[in-house]
Each structure stands twice: as C-alpha cells, then as structure tokens.
A and B are shown apart, each in its own frame.
Chain A
Amino acid sequence: MSNRLTCDVVVVGAGMVGAACALYAARSGLRVIVVDRGPVAGGTTGAGEGNLLVSDKEPGPELSLALYSGRLWQDVAAEPGLGEAIEFEPKGGLMVVSDPDGLHALETFAAGQRAEGVEAVPVAADALHGLEPHLADGLGGGMYYPQDCQVMPTLAAAHLIRRSGADLRTGRAVTGVLRGADGRLTGVRTDGGDIHAPAVVNATGTWGGEFAALAGVHLPVLPRRGFVLVTEPLPAGTVRHKVYDADYVANVASDSAALQSSAVVESTAAGPVLIGATRERVGFDRTFSLPAARILAAQATALFPVLGRARAIRSYLGFRPYLPDHLPVIGPDARLPGLYHACGHEGAGIGLSLGTGQLIAQSLTGTTPDLDLAPFRPDRFPAEEVPR
C-alpha cells in the first residue's frame, strides 16, 4: 500500500453504536476512521426500531446507562438540523396493564425506577383514553413515561457519522488485527488494506464475538431474533405514544429461547405504525415466521382495535446482539491493550448508543468515565480456551 492509512482510532462497525463512538471520539479531538464491511447501518441498526426507552428497565447499570444516554440524545437532537434529520420525537411511553391487579405490581416497579431518576406518572384506567384515544376499552390503567423518545436508527447512524467528520470506509471487511512487537494492537487488517491506529473499537454488534475472536479474546455475543410488522401509513394521532403491555418487561429480561412477544406499538414520522418485536433465540435464521407476525398482530389489535383494519405492508427481522447477563460490554479490554469493546446492547442498542460512545471516548482519552464501567467489563465472562 503506497498511502499508509493511519488515525488515532479505528471504529469497526458503522451501526448506531459505532456512529456514537465516532461522534464522541472525534469531538474529543481524535482522528477517527469508521470501517464496515457493508453500508452504513447495514447490520442490526437497519433492522430494528428506534425506541429510546427508560420505561422498560429495572434499576441497575442498564437503567443508569439509559438515563445517561437519554440526556445525550436530548443534546444531540437540539443541535441545528439534527433532531429533524434523525426524526427525533420525545413522545413518551405508555405502559398499560390489562387488569387493575397488575397496576399494583407496575406501581412497585415504577417506584424503584423513580429512585434512579425516572419520571413515571400513574394513569388511571379512565384517563387512558385522554392519552391514547384509540386504546381498547377495559384496560386496567397504566404508567406514563415522558422520558421515552424515538429516533429513526438508520438516519441517526448515518447523520451522526457525517456530523462526526470521521472518515467512513464502507464495503471493507476487517479480517484480522495488527499487533506490535509488545503484543499491543496497532490497527486492523481489512480486505481493502491495513489501517494503523493505536486504538481499535469493536462496535460490530451481533458479530462482536467473531471480531473478538479475530483479536484472540473471548466474548460470547449471540443473536436474538426479532420481527417487526409495519403498517400502511395511518392518520396522524392514531397512535400517539409508544404503547406496550407491562408483560414486555418480563419478556425482555427472559432467558428463554422460545418465541416470546409483547408488542410495542408506535407511529413513525412518515405515518406507518411499527409493531415490534418478538424475541427468539434461533441463531441467524432469516426465514420469515408467520406465527411471529400473527402474535404481533394479535397483541397490537388487542391494544388498539382500530388497527384490525390497518394493513401490514411489510415485516422485517433483525438479530439483537446479546450477552449472557443481558448487559453490553463497554470499555478497554484488559486482556489486549489497544482493544476497546462497545457491543452486545441487545434490544436497546439505539437507546444506549450515545452513552456508550461517550464512555468509550472518555476511555480513549484517559478521562474518568462518567459511569462506573465495572458492570460492562469485557472480561467478565468465564474464560474459555481461546485459540491464539
């Protein structure tokens, strides 16, 4: 290679998380190259939804990261032109329960969240229609979460990478890592030539384990499949918030491999309503599943009977990157100097991306991270025999 490609940090992966890492790394003065084997947002970011939720998270490290990210999303959305470009909507979430008994459990759950800084406003059964006129009759009540927001993930990833000023190299697969004499990482090998940098960020999402293996470290990232149903454009106001059944929370935290679903129903800026998503552990199987679509439709029409007449025009699927304890890995890898991880965000990677990016930038520049990174340590999983 005649012109040697160098920078301060290579971000591998041009999904939402890579975009966030690039943005904050660049803003802290680093020269960044983002490399992806596909186009921008061609992985899970382009195959999911854009809920930025605090409502579904119990107190703990993930909720702290969600609240931290939420503040950063507000800042980003306030930058000139950006909020609109990424379709940021601070629309709030509404969690409903089917019968009044469930309300008690929901209130206990919300009390814990409030202690962490979540705003959660109880909604009596007879007040539900004031918030969502088309909700089904006879629901038990709910909880309103004004901090829940929404973005269009592909637009967000693409615009944040552009805003970062990072050098974006798409269509280049990373095939290995470069190491110095002392064993430190010194860059990556790609099918389009080497890129030299003292720091490499693994933002490869669901493929994070494969990438880690290229670098010789163990990271058990696995795929969790999800389907989303998309309706034809519907009149504005048909669905106003992100609305979901409280069962969703149990579902998200579940360790079961079987098909589970509790639909989150939300409208998008362009009119279609999105209904998602199922959760299933079936590896990287791309076969369309009618049962999954049926469950989503049944749950959505149970919440909003008017949707029964709305047509689904398409459905898509994606593979959430998850780790055994359902927390992402964020920060430097003690096992390999120069390697940083930012992956494994499961079904919340859009929401959690900005906080992740900021924490990575702080690690890269040697500043004390705003959050304790211990729960997100990359080496927290029992080491298996790692091929060298």
Chain B
Amino acid sequence: MGGTEQHTLVVIGAGPAGIAAALAAADAGVRVTIVDSAPQAGGQFYRRPAAGLGARRPQALHHAWGTWESLNARLQAHIAADRIRHLTDHHVWFVERLETAFTVHALVGPEQTDPDTVTADAVVLATGGYEKVLPFPGWTLPGVVTAGGAQAMLKGGLVLPGRTVVVAGTGPLLMPVAAGLAAAGATIAAYIESADPKSLVRHASTLARNPAKLAEGAQYGAALARHGVPVRMRHTVVRAHGTARLEAVTVAALDAEGRIRPGTGRRIACDTLAVGHGMLPHTDLAETLGCALDGVRVAVDAEQRTDVPGIWAAGEATGIGGAVLSLAEGEIAGHSVAAQLQGTDPDPRGWSAAAKTRSRLRAFFAAIDTVYAPPAHWPESVTDETVLCRCEEVTAGEIREAVEGLGAGDLRTVKLLTRAGMGWCQGRICAPGVAGVAGCPADTARRPFARPVPLGVLAGPADTEPNRHH
C-alpha cells in the first residue's frame, strides 16, 4: 500500500457490525485492525464451531450462512493483502483518548494476563450486546441457562445443553433458539412467551415494510409447529424446581396487567430451561470514553458517529436489532470513517442502500420493542430467599431491606449497602434484576474497565506498543 504514512482504524468487535465496518473502510483504502476477544471472526451471530471440533455442516445451524460466507471471503482477501489485520483473543479493557489519537488497551494470553496495545486514529465500537435475564425463584439452579447461552453451546460447541428443554422469557430471540434446539434433536417441552405478539398488528404498516423479517418469523413458527412444540403466549415461568439441578419448572398464565393468574400454575418436567428477556448493548468502552448514551445504548448520528470525535459505534452497541441491521450500520460507519480519515467529504449516496435498510429495521425493532416485554409485575414473584447477585450471593430480601430499612433509593446505593453488583461481573448480569426488585431505575453503572485488568498491567509502562500497526 505504498510507503506513505497511513491512518489506522481500529474496529473493536468482529461481529456483523465490526466486519462490515472494516470491509467498507478497507475497500476505501483505510488500514484496519480488528480487535476481538473471540478466537474467530463472526461475533454473536456467525459464531461457528471451533475448528478442532470438525463440524461437517455448520451451516445447518445458521440461516443466512451465505451472507456470512461472502463476508468472510472478503475479509480473508483483505487480510491476505495486509489491508486488514485481525487480532483474535484480544480482550479490550480500555480505550484511552490521547491528544490526536487513541490507544486501545487489550489483554491477551490464555488467562488474559498480558498487555497489548494498538494505536488508532479512529475507532469503531462494534462490541454488540449481551443478554438480559430477570430473576425468579430457582434461576440459579444448574440446568437454567440463558437462551443465547444455549444457542452458543449449540453453534460453538455442537453440544446440546439438555434433552428436554423449556424455552422461556420474552423477545424474538427465543424463536431461533427454540427452533435450533429442536432441529438439533432436543425435545422442547414448552415455549413460554410473556408477551402477546398478536398486539404486533398495531404496527401493521411497519411490519409490511419488513417482509423478510416476517417470513423469518413465520419460518421459525412453522419449525416449532413441525416439531410439535407447545407454544404458550402470555405465560411466564414462576419457579424452577430441583435440588442438585433443574428437574421441572412451574409456568403460569398472565392477566392483562401482567400479574400471574391464580390457579393457572402448571408443572413441566425438564432438564434445561433456556431463558432470556432481551438484550442490552455493551456500552462500557463508550461510556468511559465519554460518549453520550441514549437510554441504554450508545448515541450516534446518521453516520454512526458518537459525540466524541474519532469514535464511531455500530451494531448492537447502538441498539438491539439483529444481524442485518448491524451489517448496515457497520457499513455506514466504515464509509464515514474512510471519508474522515482521508479528508474527503462523506457521500451518503455511497451507502444509501444500507441507510434504507437501517431505517426500515430500526422501525421494525422499535415496534418489536413495544410488544415484547417481561411481565409488568415480575418482581412480585421474586421471593425474599431468591439470590439476585450470584457473585456476591445477595438475596432479594437483602435488597428490599436496603430500600425499605436503610434509605437506598438508587442502584448505586443498593449496591453499596448490599454488595449486589460489586463482584466479578460488576452487575452486568444482575443489575436489571436488582433494579426491578429495588424499584429503582436500572441506570447504567459506570464501569471504567471493560474487563478486569491485572494491577501489574495497569502499573506497567504506559507506552509499550508492541503492536503499533505497520
């Protein structure tokens, strides 16, 4: 690429958004480094069985496999031509803002103990999202897994999480999970959705503009019917039973207010409960950089720029909306970065197709969001003994005592008084549950380190840059 001093884009995250951003920027001649914690490209969606597992037909677990294959081919071509560098197994713990550039700090090594840094002129945050799971009695039993976790086990490890599975919670994500598990040979004892998707008809026009999405939904619906999966809408899991591990769940119907209808409880035997209540964007790196948030997501403009110059964000970090939306946002970010780094005027005509897809899908997911929701009164079913924070073993009773007896009124004070959210995961898992039970808003906690970082690394010299690109 000639010997001239070149600007470098660092893309954090190798999911659909990150790859699309990297490809668009590299196509325009920008030098790109992708930094990702996973061993392979693909992110959450295109998660593939590890090479060593020798899967013969990974595509059987994926729809849109073709899209992935063509993206991956383009990625590999850029890597071969040294236009894109992909740093795998790199866990970014901090993005440091310097005068005119950024230093991306990562941890590497089998235990993530060693430092590596990359310097960037621009950064695209494409860190995706993570699953939200709300607590209920018994949710900490072995055998209770997140919906995404069940899916990941299937996609990444080719193992079935269990034989008899109940899929429960809320949101469109549950559908592919249930269909995937059924296709892999699990018995789906029940599909429990707390929302009533029938109310989607209120958004008929938005839906009509997204025929592909509707078809996808219909396909999953048909798959579930084919496997004879009992589907229960406006139902919820009230409790998971078992001593050493999960043996059954009790599910019950919900009334119009989202309260459990007395007398409707039914016990269903199962060895696995795959449960999820939607996704939340990863915002740690953005927040520490000082990027503004819009609710729980990173705020971006039409070009996917955050309000911090030099920082873009794309994909589920900027709002949950599936792989196709992530691809579109990533592509727009890549174009915008390239224009800025090369000092040309960004030309939105270059990404008009992606922009159209983006607005169509954002409208679709906004509609979806109004429909899929956990039962309004879910905290009422959480008994005092239920452990909400697993890291610190804090029960719902202790949370309630902190609010009612000690004067806590927000998530931070609840945390300080009970230690809920103070442990290893820093509340990433329990915060929505704790906030719900405490009756306070689930405001995003500031987490300066996106990953726990050894003090020896922090203490180390600030300017070692073994990985300064080219």
Residues of A at under 8 Å CB distance from B?
A: 14, 38-42, 46, 154-155, 158-159, 161-162, 168, 170-171, 229, 231-233, 270, 272, 275, 287-288, 290-291, 293-294, 297-298, 300-301, 307-316
Contact = CB atoms under 8 A, between A and B. Distances in A.
Given A38-B409, A162-B405, A314-B447, A308 B416 contact: no
A39 B456 contact: no
Given A231-B455, A307-B455, A310-B454, A290 B94 contact: yes
Interface residues of B, number: 34
26 contacts: A38-B410, A39-B407, A39-B412, A39-B413, A41-B413, A154-B417, A155-B416, A158-B417, A162-B407, A168-B407, A229-B458, A288-B446, A290-B94, A294-B459, A297-B455, A298-B459, A301-B456, A308-B459, A309-B113, A309-B455, A310-B455, A311-B452, A311-B454, A313-B426, A314-B426, A314-B447
A258 B238 CA distance: 56
A311 B412 CA distance: 22
Contacts of B417: 154-155, 158
Contacts of A42: 409-410, 412-413
B65 interface: no
Contacts of B113: 309
Contacts of A312: 449, 452-455, 458
Interface string B30-67: 00000000000000000000000000000000000000
Scoring B113, B405, B407, B449 by chain A CB atoms within 10 A of each residue's CB, the highest score goes to: B407
B458 A294 contact: yes
Interface string B429-459: 0000000000000000011110011111011
Scoring A171, A290, A293 by chain B CB atoms within 10 A of each residue's CB, the highest score goes to: A290
Contacts of A309: 113, 454-456
Enumerate the 3 nearest inter-chain pairs by beta-carbon distance, A residue then B residue, closest first. Answer: A308-B456, A40-B407, A297-B458
B96 A290 contact: yes
Contacts of A158: 402, 406-408, 417
Nearest to A152: B416
A313 B447 CA distance: 9
Contact of A46 (B402, B416, B423): B416
Nearest to B290: A287
Nearest to A299: B459
Given A162-B406, A288-B448, 15 more contacts: A38-B409, A39-B408, A39-B412, A40-B408, A41-B416, A155-B417, A229-B455, A232-B424, A232-B452, A287-B290, A298-B459, A308-B455, A309-B455, A312-B449, A314-B448
A154 B413 contact: yes
B171 to A, nearest CB: 29
B449 A313 contact: yes
Contacts of A300: 455, 459
B121 interface: no
B410 A39 contact: yes
A171 B459 CA distance: 40
Contacts of B406: 40, 158-159, 162
B462 interface: yes
B247 interface: no
Contacts of B453: 311-312
Interface string B408-422: 111011001101001
Contacts, number: 110
B27 interface: no
Nearest to A293: B458
Given A154-B417, A155-B417, A288-B288, A294 B462 contact: yes
B392 interface: yes
A170 B449 contact: no
A307 B455 CA distance: 6
Contact of A313 (B94, B402, B452): B452
Interface of B: 94, 96, 113, 288, 290, 392, 402, 405-410, 412-413, 416-417, 419, 422-424, 426, 446-449, 452-456, 458-459, 462
A159 B417 CA distance: 10
Contacts of B405: 162
Contacts of B459: 294, 297-298, 300-301, 308
A40 B406 CA distance: 8
A162 B458 CA distance: 40
B448 A293 contact: yes
A175 to B, nearest CB: 19
Scoring B288, B412, B424 by chain A CB atoms within 10 A of each residue's CB, the highest score goes to: B412
A39 B409 contact: yes
Nearest to B427: A314
A308 B453 CA distance: 10
A161 B407 contact: yes
Contacts of A301: 455-456, 459
Given A232-B424, A301-B459, A315 B407 contact: no
Contacts of B96: 290
B114 to A, nearest CB: 12
Scoring B96, B423, B448 by chain A CB atoms within 10 A of each residue's CB, the highest score goes to: B448
Contacts of B408: 39-40, 158
Given A39-B410, A288-B288, A270 B449 contact: no
A300 B458 CA distance: 11
Contacts of A159: 406
B419 to A, nearest CB: 6
B449 A314 contact: yes
B456 A170 contact: no
Contacts of B392: 270
Nearest to A169: B407
A31 B468 CA distance: 65
A173 to B, nearest CB: 13
A231 B423 CA distance: 10
Contacts of B412: 39, 42, 46
Contacts of A291: 462
Scoring A41, A288, A301 by chain B CB atoms within 10 A of each residue's CB, the highest score goes to: A288
A288 B422 CA distance: 18
Contacts of A287: 290
B416 A154 contact: yes
Contacts of B407: 14, 39-40, 158, 161-162, 168, 170
A38 B454 CA distance: 34
A85 B424 CA distance: 23
Nearest to A311: B452
A294 B409 CA distance: 33
A46 B288 contact: no
Nearest to B425: A313
A131 to B, nearest CB: 21
B189 to A, nearest CB: 38
Contacts of A290: 94, 96
Scoring A171, A270, A291, A294 by chain B CB atoms within 10 A of each residue's CB, the highest score goes to: A294
B47 to A, nearest CB: 26
B420 to A, nearest CB: 12
B112 to A, nearest CB: 9
Scoring B426, B452, B456 by chain A CB atoms within 10 A of each residue's CB, the highest score goes to: B456
A229 B456 CA distance: 13
B447 A308 contact: no
Contacts of B410: 38-39, 42
Nearest to A286: B446
A162 B402 CA distance: 11
Nearest to A304: B455
B351 to A, nearest CB: 33
Contacts of A231: 455
A170 B409 contact: yes
B385 to A, nearest CB: 21
